[in-house]
C-alpha cells in the first residue's frame, strides 16, 4: 500500500517521515554516494521538504520500504533550481505538473536482477493514481535514459526536456511523462493487480473525495 501524505502533516506522522528520511539517507548517501546530501544524523532531507511537497510511502508490515517525493512545479523544484542545465527551454511550471524525486526502494525489496520490483511498480501505480485523483497528469523526472523505454512500455507519453548529461557516475535525462486512465490500466495489468494502491492520509484524505481514486 502507498500512503500519500502532505509535507504539511509531518508532525502528525513523525514516525513515517523519520523512516523515510533514514531510507533516503541509506540509499542516496551510503549506497549511491551522493556525498552532498550526507548528514551527521543519518536522515536525508533538503530545502524542498516543505509543506508543499507530497510524500508517497510504500508500506510493508507498517514499515516504509519505498518512497518518492512529488514537488509542485509552480514553486521552486529540483530541475528549476539545481539542474537547470538539464532543461533546454524554460522549466515547466503548471498546476497539473509535478516533479518526482528521491525514488528509492529498500535493498531487501528489489527482487529481480534488472526488472522493476513490485515495490517499484507499486510506487509507479501510486503516483499515477494520485495524479488522476487530484488533477495532475504530467510528471517531470530526472532519471537514467533506461527508464524512457520502461515508461513507454507502461503507456506514458514520454518527452525529453533536454539532452542527457553525466551527473556523478550516472547519465541523466530530464523527461516529462504524461498519463491518463489508459496508463493506469496498463500499469495495473503489468503488475497483475487491478486494485487501487493509494491511501490518502491526513489533510489530503479530507481534500480528495474518496470516489476520485477508489475506481
Partner 1 sequence: MSKFDDTLSLIEEIERTSTPDAVCQQLLNLSSQYGLTCLLAGTLPRPRETASKIRDQNVFLNGWPMGWAERYFERNYIFIDPIATKLQSDLTAFTWDQARIDPAVATDANRMFGEATEFGLCAGFAIPFVTLEGSIASISLGGQRIELPPRAKGMLSLISTYTMGRAIQLRNNTKQQTLYRPLTHREIEAMRWAADGKTEWEISVIMSISEHTAAKHLNNARTKLGAVNRVQAIANAIRSGIIR
What residues numbered 40-79 form the site for partner 1, per CB under 8 A? Answer: none
Beta carbons within 8 Å of 16's beta carbon, 6+ residues apart = 3, 5, 57, 64
> How long is the chain?
215
Q: Pick one of 32, 60, 190, 208: the residue that binds partner 1 (CB under 8 A).
A: 190
**Closest separation in Å from C-beta 199 to partner 1:** 25
Host H or E run for residue 56: strand 54-60
Among 114, 192, 194, 206, binds partner 1 (CB under 8 A): 114
Residue 113 interacting with partner 1 (CB under 8 A): yes
Q: How many Å apart are CA 104 and CA 66, to the nearest integer?
A: 6
> Closest approach of Cβ 190 to partner 1, in Å?
7
Integer Cα distance of 89 and 135 in angstroms: 24
Site string for partner 1, 147-176 (x = CB under 8 A): -xxxxxxxx-xxxx-xxx--------x---
Q: How far is the CB of 187 from partner 1 (least distance, A)?
A: 10
Nearest distance from residue 91's CB to partner 1, in Å? 14
Nearest CA among 199, 191, 207, 139 for reference residue 2:
199
Q: Among 40, 43, 37, which Cα is nearest to 17's?
A: 43
115 makes contact with partner 1 (CB under 8 A): yes
Closest contact distance (angstroms) between CB of 162 and partner 1 is 7
Query: What does DSSP assign to residue 91?
Result: P
Binding site for partner 1 (CB under 8 A): 88, 112-116, 145-146, 148-155, 157-160, 162-164, 173, 190
Amino acid at each position: 500500500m502507498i500512503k500519500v501524505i502532505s509535507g504539511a502533516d509531518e508532525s502528525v506522522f513523525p514516525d513515517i517521515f523519520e523512516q523515510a528520511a533514514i531510507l533516503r539517507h541509506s540509499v542516496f548517501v551510503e549506497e549511491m554516494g551522493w556525498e552532498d546530501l550526507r548528514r551527521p544524523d543519518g536522515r536525508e532531507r533538503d530545502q524542498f521538504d516543505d509543506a508543499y511537497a507530497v510524500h508517497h510511502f510504500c508500506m510493508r508490515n507498517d514499515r516504509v520500504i519505498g518512497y518518492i517525493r512529488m514537488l509542485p512545479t509552480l514553486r521552486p523544484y529540483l530541475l528549476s533550481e539545481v539542474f537547470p542545465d538539464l532543461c533546454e527551454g524554460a522549466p515547466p511550471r503548471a498546476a497539473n505538473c509535478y516533479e518526482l524525486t528521491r525514488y528509492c526502494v529498500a535493498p531487501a525489496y528489489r527482487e529481480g536482477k534488472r526488472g522493476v520490483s513490485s515495490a517499484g511498480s507499486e510506487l509507479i501505480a501510486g503516483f499515477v493514481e494520485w495524479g488522476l485523483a487530484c488533477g495532475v497528469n504530467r510528471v517531470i523526472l530526472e532519471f537514467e535514459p533506461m527508464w524512457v523505454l520502461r515508461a513507454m512500455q507502461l503507456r506514458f507519453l514520454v518527452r525529453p526536456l533536454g539532452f542527457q548529461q553525466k551527473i556523478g557516475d550516472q547519465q541523466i535525462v530530464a523527461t516529462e511523462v504524461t498519463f491518463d486512465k489508459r496508463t493506469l490500466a496498463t500499469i495495473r495489468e503489468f503488475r497483475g493487480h487491478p486494485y487501487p494502491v493509494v491511501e490518502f492520509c491526513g489533510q489530503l484524505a479530507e481534500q480528495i473525495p474518496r470516489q476520485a481514486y477508489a475506481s
